[in-house]
A = this chain, B = another copy of it.
Amino acid sequence: MKLLEERIRKDGKIKGGEVLKVDSFLNHQMDVGLFAEIGKEFKRLYDGCTVTKILTIEASGIGIACVTAQYFNVPVIFAKKNKTKNIAGDVYSSKVESFTHGKVYDIIVAKEFLHPEDKVLLIDDFLANGSALMGLITLVREAGATLVGAGIVIEKAFQPGGALIRDQGVRVESLAKIAAMSETGGVTFCGA
């Protein structure tokens, strides 16, 4: 997606070779106009897949998922990272390793919102090692729902997550795929 690649080149900041900061438009400050274009592109890619639910993970996936869901006309569910008093015991859960925060945490979805008849599209901002996306896939499988695929805004294709998940037969559509990046050389996109 050209618009997104241009925005990453313009406003993305590379820190230490593996961290791409896009917090001016994607995951801290959020450009909802850009999100609308992202949502339309996911709709174009997954049109005709009769998606019934969009599943994402808190926190930075939620905004993109909600704007995208407007084009699919379906509800969004966000997997929660902590079990709170407000969620009853009937949850699907899986484990996610965060390399950014250096810890493993549980993600949960209330069983009442994911059913075997659901066709689920996963949405997230980043795909790198694939841990968050694998956690979401596990939740969908636990529910016995159909996994339509995943819509990712930025994939770090030089990290193993994308290959790992596609090798399982899961459709993964990434709007910007980064082949390589460095503080001196900037970002190189796949196919560029």
Contacts and interface: CB of A to CB of B under 8 A. Distances in A.
B30 A78 contact: yes
B29 A76 contact: yes
A23 B67 contact: no
Q: How many copies does the complex hold?
A: 2
Interface size bucket, A side? 35 or more
Contact of A32 (B33, B75, B110): B75
Contacts of A25: 75
Interface in A1-38: 19, 21, 23-25, 28-33, 35-36
Given A21-B86, A30-B75, A30-B76, A65 B63 contact: yes
Interface in A70-122: 70, 73-78, 80, 82, 84-87, 100-101, 109-110, 112-113
Contacts of A87: 23, 28
A164 interface: no
Nearest to A57: B59
Given A25-B75, A30-B69, A84-B101, 9 more contacts: A23-B110, A24-B112, A24-B113, A30-B78, A32-B70, A33-B73, A63-B63, A63-B76, A67-B70
Interface of A: 19, 21, 23-25, 28-33, 35-36, 58-59, 62-63, 65-67, 69-70, 73-78, 80, 82, 84-87, 100-101, 109-110, 112-113
